[in-house]
Amino acid sequence: MVKSRFAPSPTGNLHIGGARTALFNYLYTKHHGGVFVLRIEDTDVERSKDDYVKDILGGLSWLGIHWDEGPYYQMDRMDLYREHAYRLLAEGHAYKCYCTAEMLEEKRKKALKEGGKPHYDRTCRDLLPDDASSEGKPFVIRFRSPVSGEVSFTDLIRGTITFKCEELDDLIIFRTDSTPTYNFTVVVDDALMGITHIVRGDDHINNTPRQILIYEALKYPVPQFAHVPLIHGKDRTRLSKRHGATSLLEYRSDGFLPEALMNYLARLGWAHGDQEIFSQQELIEKFDLPNVGKSPSVFDMDKLTWLNGHYLKTLPAEDIAGRLLPFLQRMGIEASPDGRLVRIVVNLRERARTLKEMAQMAEYFFRDDFAFDETARVKFLTAATRPILVDFAEGLKAIASTDEEESLKALIEGLTKKYNAKPVGIIQPVRVALCGRTVSPGIFEVIAILGKEAVEKRLTRAVESIQ
């Protein structure tokens, strides 16, 4: 039975990188029919915030990642960590250290400057437990790491990775304020929760040997590890705020569909032959760790946008219409999810790449008093085109319904003859009169959706705008 987890710390929003790690965990687990756990690692009291927890949960839900267990909060599990730490202490796998943070910082700087390893010098490692001089002094608990030998593990993505124990530190597992640290809580929780597979960013490779040592000291079975490469920004460094590594939810408000984002994220670092489009179900069927690449990938907004356009075109129009509503609302347009809106979506989905764009394109379908695009107005609403618009309005009177495309075609054809113009010469002025811009769906569709009354009103308004 596979059991995995996503264990973010609520010290920031859920961004693209975290979301992909969560996704890989989720897909891998579901592929193997396992259990996916969500655990919030909030032991950094200073920086953890409830708003971030909200953002993380919200982002995962929106993306379509559902957890089977949790969310667990580490702050609720303090007794467990304390119990385990004191067990290590009692068994000699850990010791109290009285060095102050300032002292350590100094030593670290000095070592680094001299080109050495900035490791703890193990001053307190062999202090007698009842040393009178340490009475009542604040202390931290350090893990007693072996000084020689090596630790190796088989990474599911990279193969065997080996570290020499000399490289490892006697890391702090309990702080002066008696709160536990990451490398310790992560082991205790993963062990207690029965996590079998740990899929995480490769920035954790260095932590793995230390954690394995703790598993062994605690006599818990060591899980399988898989380290996925980090996502990079355009400058090929770790994704950060500079690269727009903001909340995943920002993509939602920018008009992206979770289907597109999930598809894109999955393909970032993973591939299944030449296939580009995957539904969530298909991802679960096809995703597996051995196919995950080893090298970091760069986030490409263009490709995400393309995928989003694809889903806009292929998801049911009714569905898209529903999702468009909040974007219209944000523009002050109260639309209802009716057949008319669906018709609008069907016409705009070929052109828009995001819901936000689509809403902007849809504006004139809901407002008679839109502003004319200045360039379009100057070019197409002129003394020369005025009679065309007048004639068009006149001809429209004879047509019973704007759904009569043949009649409208005939009307335009007639005008092309009268004015010795190409169809575009008639259509563009009409388009600007009806939409306020030179770009829109096919003119017959626009007219049909608008309906006779609105078309007449707009033609009149356009004609009157020409002095």
Partner RNA sequence: GUCCCCAUCGUCUAGCCUGGUCCAGGACACCGGCCUUUCAAGCCGGCAACGGGGGUUCGAAUCCCCCUGGGGACGCCA
Chain positions 330 to 369 lying near RNA, rule: CB under 7 A, are 350-351
**By CB under 7 A, residue 270 contacts RNA:** yes
Least separation in angstroms between residue 390's CB and RNA is 20
Neighbours of 303 (CB within 10 A): 14
Residues 161-180 that bind RNA (CB under 7 A): 161-164, 167, 169, 171-172, 175-177, 179
Q: At what angle do helices 405-418 and 423-435 cross, to 10 degrees?
A: 120
Least separation in angstroms between residue 32's CB and RNA is 19
Least separation in angstroms between residue 298's CB and RNA is 3
Choose, from 110, 117, 164, 241, the residue flagged as catalytic.
Answer: 241
Phi then psi dihedrals of residue 95, to 5 deg: -150, 160
**By CB under 7 A, residue 9 contacts RNA:** yes
Q: How many CA atoms lie within 13 A of 410 on its CB side?
A: 9
Least separation in angstroms between residue 206's CB and RNA is 3
Give the burial class of 23: count Cβ atoms within 10 A of its Cβ; 0-12 exposed, 13-18 middle, 19 or more buried: buried
Q: What is the amino acid identity at position 227?
A: H
Rounded distance, CA 7 to CA 193, Å?
12
**By CB under 7 A, residue 8 contacts RNA:** yes
**By CB under 7 A, residue 73 contacts RNA:** no
- Per-residue binding string, RNA, 109-128, x by CB under 7 A, is ---x--xxxxxx--------
Please say if 241 is a catalytic residue: yes
Least separation in angstroms between residue 336's CB and RNA is 25
**By CB under 7 A, residue 274 contacts RNA:** yes
Please choose, from the candidates 37, 57, 64, the residue with its C-alpha nearest in 3D space to the C-alpha of residue 278: 64
Among 124, 443, 449, 462, contact with RNA (rule: CB under 7 A):
443
Rounded distance, CA 189 to CA 56, Å?
20
**By CB under 7 A, residue 183 contacts RNA:** yes
Among 440, 448, 455, 458, contact with RNA (rule: CB under 7 A):
440
Among 5, 93, 144, 431, contact with RNA (rule: CB under 7 A):
431
Per DSSP, the residues of 34-63 read -EEEEEE----TTT--HHHHHHHHHHHHHH
SS3 assignment, position 85: helix
- Tell me which residues are annotated as active site: 241
